[in-house]
Structure 1
Amino acid sequence: MQPIHKHDEAVTEEPPATGSTRAARLKPGERRVHILQTLATMLEAPKNEKITTAALAARLGVSEAALYRHFASKAQMFEALIEFIEQSIFGLINQIATKEPNGVLQARTIALMLLNFSAKNPGMTRVLTCEALVGEHERLTERVNQMLERVEASLKQCLRLALMDANVQSEAHAHNPATVPLPADYDPAVRANLLLSYIVGRWHRYVRSGFARNPAEHADAQLRLILQ
């Protein structure tokens, strides 16, 4: 799993090298990353089939015992993958919040980043929608739900910032009718919840389509309707 670069908008899974020869040359930390890369790649298969440790080991060209030297269980593998997704997403959210002063544009950019992250990482999208976690330990689904709650809180904070600037926007509108202020009844919590529901819905549609429907399709126009 490659680290996020400062200006990246999404992480792209690198095709893992397979075979026991390559696996033997990897250091312990690299082997863990290689296992997670391979797991994520296997989740990209259009058919939703439960991934077993036997199938994962065969894909890697190692024994199941070799997998368990790095992860005590398949649940731990998924937990590590969720942790990587979480760190990647919130690293990018923090970058966006730092670079963009406008709250509405912050929320819009975060939404587009999440949709593009999904498009570039179809296997990880199956984790974000919890489809890959069916039949796995319930703590994994809880972990994803907690991550999404954090995303919603971040979006809410962006829109609260936008609301704080509403008076300035109103003054600007008085001098420049082309400037569109936020509605008087603008509710950051409601908008953030709607925005997250839209994003998650796009993820689900992407997965159900066998990764054929781009999650960012028509997103620019739709986000304007949601956010203003």
Structure 2
Amino acid sequence: MVHLVQPEPAKPARLKPGERRAQILRVLAAMLEDPRGERVTTAALAARLQLSEAALYRHFASKAQMLEALIQQAEEQLLAQAEQIAGLAQPAEERAQRLMLALLRFGEAQPGLARVLVGDALVGEHERLAQRVEQLFQRLEATQRHWLREGDLDSAQPGADAQGRAAVLMGFAQGRLLRFVRSGFKRAPTENLEQWRRWLPG
């Protein structure tokens, strides 16, 4: 009888440090997309990556640092979109609403990061993470406020207080993202948005 020798399973390819960091963040974001909203542990993350927890800590000092890197990714993408919108030849109100819509679409496309932005994935984590998210929302709202104030200066009939209008837009976006997360990602942030936009500043 001939015994066939089974080949050894291929070992995962070695990744460069930067590539491994990016992979860790991708997998963490994917695990946060679980609609059950369960807390992701470093042990579960390491198992999904087929790494030891010690290997994770060679790239990130803590889970908090991983979550902060995800927040930074969101910040970079959203602020880049804000910069693009700022360059559009559109009325200030339209640009402010467009930035709100960009935030909603960002969360809809990346449910794991939506959980981070609404704080659901930050429960029990270091308070600086929630502060970092709040700073991001404040920057987006400040951008909208700046545009709306400029628009009022250019208008013969200035509208309501720019600060209040910006606060309404950002509060609406945050509420929509929170509903999206709490529904297990079933109720899209952009659902029936056109019906609501007529009630929003702009």
Note whether the superposition's TM-score is higher than 0.5: yes
Deviation for aligned residue 1:157? 1.1
Structure 2 counterparts to residues 103-182 of structure 1, below 5 A: 103-167=92-156
Identity, % of aligned positions:
49
Matched letter for residue 153 of structure 1: A
- Scaled by the length of structure 1, what TM-score is found? 0.81
The alignment status of 1:70 with 2:44, answered yes or no, reads no
Structure 2 counterparts to residues 1-228 of structure 1, below 5 A: 21-22=11-12, 24-167=13-156, 183=159, 186-228=160-202
Counterpart of 2:5 in structure 1 is none
Choose 1 or 2 for highest CA Rg: 2
Deviation for aligned residue 1:101? 3.6
Counterpart of 2:3 in structure 1 is none
Deviation for aligned residue 1:224? 2.9
Q: How many residues align?
A: 194
Deviation for aligned residue 1:227? 1.3
Deviation for aligned residue 1:211? 0.3
Q: What are structure 1's unaligned runs of at least 5 residues?
A: 1-19, 171-181
- Residues 206 and 215 of structure 1 are in contact (CA less than 8 Å); yes or no, is this contact kept in structure 2? yes
* RMSD, aligned CA: 1.6
Deviation for aligned residue 1:108? 1.2
Deviation for aligned residue 1:192? 0.5
Q: Which 4+ runs in 1 deviate beyond 4 A?
A: none
Q: Distance in 2 between matches of 1:75 and 1:214?
A: 28
- Residues 112 and 219 of structure 1 are in contact (CA less than 8 Å); yes or no, is this contact kept in structure 2? no
Farther-moved stretch of structure 1 (218-227 vs 60-69)? 218-227
Report the CA distance shift for 1:21/1:101 in structure 2 as closer, same or farther (over 3 A). Answer: farther
Deviation string for 1:53-94 (max 9, x for gaps)? Answer: 000000101110110000010011011111111001000110
- Scaled by the length of structure 2, what TM-score is found? 0.91
Q: Distance in 2 between matches of 1:114 and 1:134?
A: 22
Matched letter for residue 40 of structure 2: I
